[in-house]
Structure 1
Amino acid sequence: MFAQLFRTKPVAASHHSGLRKCLTAFDLALLGVGCAIGTGIFVLTGIAAAMYSGPAVIVSFIIAGLAAGFAGFAYAELAASVGGSGSAYGYSYVAFGEFSAWMIAWILLLEYGVGAAAVANGWSGYFINTLANFGITIPEAWTKAPSQGGIINLPAFGIIWVLVLVLISGVKQSSTVNNIMVAIKLSTIAIFLAIAVGHINTDNWQPFSPFGWFATQPDGNNIGILAGASLVFFAYFGFDAVSTAADEARNPQRDLPIGLIASVTFCTIVYILVSGTLTGVVHYSDLNVSSPVAYALSKIGYSWSSTLVATGVLAGLITVLLVLLYGLTRILYAMSRDGLLPAAFSKVDPERQSPNRVILFCGSMISIVAGFFPLGTLAETVNIGTLASFVMVCIGVIVLRKRQPNLPRPFKNPWGPTIPLLGIVSCSTLMAFLPGETWHRFLIWVGIGMVTYFAYSMHHSKLRQP
């Protein structure tokens, strides 16, 4: 029985699927950019500056970017050598065995599922505000969860189902929608930078680091550059969705490393430019608002630009949602294909070549959570799941180099184990700066996952079958 827990899956078993291979390196890079540039830049930048880092939020983004970059190189090596759908789940299955793979997949479900519901809530807020700019109001009962005095957050519920229909249409169509939305989103950011850069007041950057590197307040909350980095890491959690597309990439050994590294590098540069400009235009203490980019433009007299930015944000958050839903369905698909979840989740529609049953299941669950539960406080829960999966991927690179030194590696990290080790240290450090309440929620989720594995998944695993 216990030998089963640590039995690994052969590398060759990761390469067979009925999914359509049609994504290029460019599509994969935009998949990462589509998910990573969204809530982090349009919402969390202001909160991180006002409450945690001050103008030094730039340094917070650099630290978070380095941690994500180290993990990105580890992902790239495993994606090129191991491949397969399911992201860190697939790599852990080959490197550590079934139980570790199950637990990392369970954590990824938290990351993608809760992340999608939280982003749907954020999108709803922007959508309601944009309609209000045009004189259209939705009754409050249809924009708030029951715990907030409403009936349902209908925009959050509805946008999930719109994107479910996009995903069911096929992966190439979904990729095209993502690429168009990314272009709108990046155009919005370019317009903001072009307008705002001429209004930077360097006095707003003083003091540059008002909260220092790290401090704990009397109420127990952590502040400072490092605490800010652990918050804004939410901005990077989407880029690993690139690795869930391995089974649908035309040339995964070449295209996945390019897509992963290009997306995290590009996003880091954009985050630094936007956060630096934002804190230069508006004093950091005024940025604790739900839409800091639009707020900054309205402060310098460009009210029409504020509406334009809100429109760009709507497009941006749609891409985040689309990629999160896509990644979630592919992880569940991979787990089902290995027997750890019911077989219905790995049925592929022969016409669309997409797993429609699991897409409909994910849409049902996430739309209910997004519509009936306020999830604004769960960004940190998403972060801890992301960081844990990044640590496992970095460890996986080191383990596989020891266990399978002759495994073909079309992309290999330079400088031996240095980069994976830096990834382990940096991501573990950011986890340490997350609040205790976040750790409690995380450990409860992990406990539920362990029970589920021993009650169902372990007995249905295909590795147990002759």
Structure 2
Amino acid sequence: MRNVLGLVDLTLLGVGATLGTGVYILAGQIARQTAGPGVVLSFLIAAFASLLAALCYAELAAVVPTAGTAYSYTYVGVGEFTAFFVGWNLILEYAIATASVSRAFSNYVDVVTGNVIRTWSMRSVPLRGSFLAEYPGFLAVGFISLLAALLALGVKESTLFNNVCSLLNLITVIVTVVAGSCTSNVANWSIAREDIPAEKHAGVGGFLPFGVTGVLAGASTCFFGYVGFDTITACGEEARNPKRNIPLSILLTLGVICAVYLAVSMVVTMMVPYYEQDLEAPFPSAFEKVGLPVVSWIVTIGAMFAMTTRVVSPRCSASRLTADFPHLSMVGSMFPLPRVLLTMAADGMLFRSLALVSTRTGTSLRSTLLAWLMSSSMALLFNLEQLIDMMSIGTLTAYIMVAVSVVQIRSVSVPVPSESIFDDSLLYRVEAGTDATTPLSTGRVLKAVLNYERLQEPSYVTSWVVPLVPFLPYLSILLNMSLMMMMNWGTWTRFGVWLLIGLMVYFLYSVWHSTLAEMQQLDRKPESQDRVSTLPEDLMLSNQQRLSNDSLAGTEPNNKT
């Protein structure tokens, strides 16, 4: 792959993958239903929770600059078995997200054109079945095909498209905030209870009309407004100076998104009382009420550029999709999918042919084709509203395992050989110099979470280090697990079915064809297994053999002979 992406490209990719039309809707919805003007605090709390995950991603992105995102980090820190399921979940997450956005985008276009597509499809090719869509999403497949073609052309071309849309979206947000500030009234943050119409059911008034519990409930929804920065980590093999630029762009992205959400939530709640917010279109409605219809149109047109990052559809449960998944992204959802497939294939988790990279475009055409096939099939046939909650589980699982990997990497200090069947992480193999006989790593997860007395400052040189380890990673794990517990049983059932399919794939194919299995068959061990100080470099040489030494080594090895 070609190293062509700089800090600006990476940051705009993260902003584009995170900031969508949800920025125009999410704050108003939460203010109306959950938190009132306290939605500002909800976004602050959610930003802190997201920062915990971002810090962990930043450290591991500097240590393991590959295209596999959370899959690669888990592979290094915890083990092959756990990493496979993290990657397996990421595949489903990105495929569903791409299909959902494209389907919603097609519905939006259909509404603008007078429902011509829906009318013809319902009459000519209706679909039957609770798990199927009402009609085939032919237009959605067309959008996915265009995006896949753009991704296949090369990373520079696709990021240029994303950069233009992201900048136009940011300009629209700035215009919205400035225009809204001119008509803001701070008195809307202190409305007395007796001034609230009884039929509004708007709590007790004031800044926290629904109390602290409302703010916390709002924060759990706001949290998903910050999801998307992990897309940056899929560019580890295409970024210039990835050990510096990827961690920095992750933190810059989170800072920009936090500033935008805070500004938007303050403006919208001061323009119009929280109990009068329009659930479907808070900002256009607010500008209409304050006598600025021109700005309302600017917001509507500007939101079209955010369609690369979030789509609102009148018939695709727009309010629910936007509230739960404001981060959905056409580029941001599909961009990492071929790269995760490529990385897993390079490790033998999937067919190795998927890891072939075109010398002309610098992209994996086969992985892109598979990503197109999966996303298009879902967009064409399935009722995606039954599947979208599974995206949250995939995201939260990845966050948890990245935090676990940080703790695990920090816990490595003294080589202690073991024949435990649970010790299969590459990290442990390099440290202990032993081969695992069974690819199970649940024990490593438990050890990483519970064995904190051996934690130390990282023995490798990196551009970013998570502070207060293990406290901050543990807190991130706790918060993400609490969000996972809020999922309904139907979502968990579908998630379990997907894991069972993954289990069959792993034991029928991956375990026999993985890089670790081949090393074991050849009775090979990673080189320099006694050098803890250069652990990431040695580890990546055995894990990601397609990467060059120059792209991995940020410092000279500290050889100990």
TM-score by length of 1: 0.85
Quote the residue 1:450 is aligned against.
Answer: 503
Aligned with 1:247 (options 214, 217, 237): 237
State the one-letter code of the partner of 2:102. A
Correspondences of 1:63-82 after superposition (within 5 Å): 63-82=45-64
Gaps of 5+ in 1: 1-18, 215-223
Over the residues paired in the alignment, what is the CA RMSD in angstroms? 2.5
Aligned with 1:93 (options 75, 78, 84): 75
CA distance in structure 2 between the partners assigned to 1:36 and 1:190 by the alignment: 16
Query: Does 278-287 or 78-87 show the bigger shift?
Result: 278-287
Matched residues, number: 435
Q: CA deviation at 1:438?
A: 3.5
Q: CA deviation at 1:369?
A: 1.8
Q: Establish whether residue 310 from structure 1 lines up as the match of residue 300 from structure 2.
A: yes
Quote the residue 2:459 is aligned against.
Answer: 406
Quote the residue 1:141 is aligned against.
Answer: 119
Q: CA deviation at 1:378?
A: 5.0
Query: Does 430-439 or 321-330 show the bigger shift?
Result: 430-439
Change over 3 Å in CA distance of 1:124–1:292 after alignment to 2:
farther
Q: Establish whether residue 33 from structure 1 lines up as the match of residue 15 from structure 2.
A: yes
Quote the residue 2:105 is aligned against.
Answer: 123
Are the equivalent residues in 2 in contact too, given 1:239–1:264 (CA < 8 A)? yes
Are the equivalent residues in 1 in contact too, given 2:57–2:402 (CA < 8 A)? yes
CA distance in structure 2 between the partners assigned to 1:425 and 1:166 by the alignment: 39
CA distance in structure 1 between the partners assigned to 2:259 and 2:134 by the alignment: 40
State the one-letter code of the partner of 1:123. F
State the one-letter code of the partner of 2:19. I
- Larger helix proportion, structure 1 or 2? 1
Change over 3 Å in CA distance of 1:448–1:85 after alignment to 2:
same
State the one-letter code of the partner of 1:346. A
- Which structure has the greater CA radius of gyration? 2
Q: CA deviation at 1:355?
A: 0.8
Q: Establish whether residue 209 from structure 1 lines up as the match of residue 199 from structure 2.
A: no
Q: CA deviation at 1:105?
A: 0.9
CA distance in structure 2 between the partners assigned to 1:143 and 1:426 by the alignment: 44
Q: CA deviation at 1:233?
A: 2.3
State the one-letter code of the partner of 1:305. V
CA distance in structure 1 between the partners assigned to 2:34 and 2:392 by the alignment: 16
Q: CA deviation at 1:458?
A: 1.6
Are the equivalent residues in 1 in contact too, given 2:110–2:117 (CA < 8 A)? no
CA distance in structure 2 between the partners assigned to 1:267 and 1:85 by the alignment: 23
Change over 3 Å in CA distance of 1:212–1:143 after alignment to 2:
farther
State the one-letter code of the partner of 1:157. V
Quote the residue 2:163 is aligned against.
Answer: 179
Are the equivalent residues in 2 in contact too, given 1:118–1:378 (CA < 8 A)? no
Correspondences of 1:100-115 after superposition (within 5 Å): 100-115=82-97
Q: Establish whether residue 339 from structure 1 lines up as the match of residue 348 from structure 2.
A: yes
Query: Does 19-28 or 372-381 show the bigger shift?
Result: 372-381
Are the equivalent residues in 2 in contact too, given 1:32–1:260 (CA < 8 A)? yes
Are the equivalent residues in 2 in contact too, given 1:38–1:317 (CA < 8 A)? yes
Are the equivalent residues in 2 in contact too, given 1:40–1:234 (CA < 8 A)? no
Q: Establish whether residue 396 from structure 1 lines up as the match of residue 405 from structure 2.
A: yes
CA distance in structure 2 between the partners assigned to 1:209 and 1:451 by the alignment: 50
Are the equivalent residues in 1 in contact too, given 2:32–2:279 (CA < 8 A)? no
Q: CA deviation at 1:29?
A: 1.0
Query: Does 282-291 or 74-83 show the bigger shift?
Result: 282-291
Change over 3 Å in CA distance of 1:203–1:178 after alignment to 2:
same
State the one-letter code of the partner of 2:118. E
Aligned with 1:381 (options 375, 383, 390): 390
CA distance in structure 1 between the partners assigned to 2:179 and 2:364 by the alignment: 44
Change over 3 Å in CA distance of 1:438–1:58 after alignment to 2:
farther
Q: Deviations 1:285-318 (Å, cap 9, x if unpaired)? A: 4445333333333333333433332222221121
Aligned with 2:141 (options 157, 162, 169): 157
Query: Does 19-28 or 402-411 show the bigger shift?
Result: 402-411
State the one-letter code of the partner of 1:368. S
Gaps of 5+ in 2: 192-204, 310-328, 414-457, 523-561
Change over 3 Å in CA distance of 1:150–1:383 after alignment to 2:
closer
Higher relative contact order (CA 8 A, sep 6+): 1
State the one-letter code of the partner of 2:32. A
Aligned with 1:170 (options 154, 175, 198): 154
TM-score by length of 2: 0.72
SS in 1 for 2:359: coil
